Structure 1
Amino acid sequence: MADDILVSSDEEYGDSSSEDERPSMSEIPDTLTYRFPKEIMVFDGDKIVDSHLHDGERNLQIYLKRCSDKLCAFASFGNTRLCCLLNTPVNEADIEDFEAGVSVKVSGAPYVSETSLRDLIKYIIPSSVMDRTFLQVRFIVYSDSGAVVPVALMTAMFALTATAIEVKGLVTAVTVLTDPDGNLTIDPSKEMEQKARDRIPGYAYVTAMKVMKDDHVRWFDMEGLSKATNLRAAFKKASESASLQYPQMAKMVQQLTERGKNVEGMLG
């Protein structure tokens, strides 16, 4: 996919999320709790240690809850915490004058484009499914310490899987930042990412997404001002790191699938 799908500038897209819309920490969890939520899965991902990682390690945690017509996927990735709220999909047989598509709303991360996430979610769903489905997705970022887009994409995949929406395959995504000296940082902090968004010379980051375990990067975005050689190194590292996430993600999805077979009505 083209590298211009994701833009981080509010000046280019008017649909970016607003910092003013950041909800209280209790807004989504408490609302769901009142409506008899059904716990689906709690999974602490394996820690992956890499010398290029920010703070030396990353640990993706997913917590899925289903309540009434909504599924809520909570994700924790270091100090980045977000929620993906997915309304039960509407299919073509439910209503007249049906129009397929994806609606995405983002709160708490003003630099993230809702247009980009909408296009990427549509991309990971097969066209045969997307042509007869309408989805409403809301991302609420409670705590932002970087890597929001990769975490949002992987969390969305779990939410879609838990609602029995077919996806093209396991989604893995990584952000890699390069500094003026060419040093690479996987999953950089928000402050480091902001240097690239502020166009400070030498700082740039690459976000790459893969579907299944292959060498082909299905989507990427570059932000910042850096030497071409440093950007190529960051892109290569992002591609490699996305592939390394595959075993962990496969393990988590397998657990979700097995749990779904034993929990009546979980996927309906």
Structure 2
Amino acid sequence: MILVLDVGNTNIVLGIYDGDALISVWRLSTNDKRTADEYGVQVMELFLQDKLNLTDIKGAIISSVVPNIMYSLEHMVTKYFQVIPVVVGPGVKTGINVRYDNPREVGADRIVNAVAAHEIYKRSIIIIDFGTATTFCAVTAKGDYLGGAICPGIKISSDALFEKAAKLPRVEIVKPSGVICKNTVSSIQAGIVYGYIGQVDYIVKKMKKEMMDLGEEEPFVIATGGLAKLIKEESKSIDIIDSILTLTGLRIIYDKNKEPVS
């Protein structure tokens, strides 16, 4: 079995793979002040909860967009699982050709998603990841990562409105029945949710045109991340939701690289 860790700005998602099967998934809050032992205790409790043994883990891989947390997580994996984790970054085999001006600038999560989508679908793809930031990534049928767009996430947009407009309340991010709303809470929800749906559809439309102008077939659009389902309900551009796309990509990248020495 292998341990995969997807470290985002808000959450760390941990998964356990037994071969190709994802058998456990957990979510922790991201906190770069925690020590390796603090994370280790949390992870041990999760293993006990799911009746898993730490000694069954034979390898690990980490993808992170939070550099300050890496020492604690790498040390935690080495100390508690007795394996050296693969860290997604320069020098790691992915099977993806990154066509960015500076490939080192591309977030590890975006590369991992691209690897999974390319391996699964083998066609032109647009990936939308609804995280702390929302990312749009374009991948060709040959596996070239062309680049994409980055937007403030839905929650960031909502929080900014609450923090900067003194009389507006913080609201739950849910879809109201329409956009002509008769109270402030519903009006904010309509603006955030339907506005974001419009943003997604417009960016995807533009990305599809640019990719097809390069000779690609019409891209297949995959969404992942916590709020993907909410947006897909009204979006005209999302074809499928894959909630474990990043974890799948981590497993694939692990398999492409030599197993670390214990």
TM-score (norm 1): 0.29
TM-score (norm 2): 0.29
Higher strand share: 1
Tell me which structure has the larger Cα radius of gyration.
2
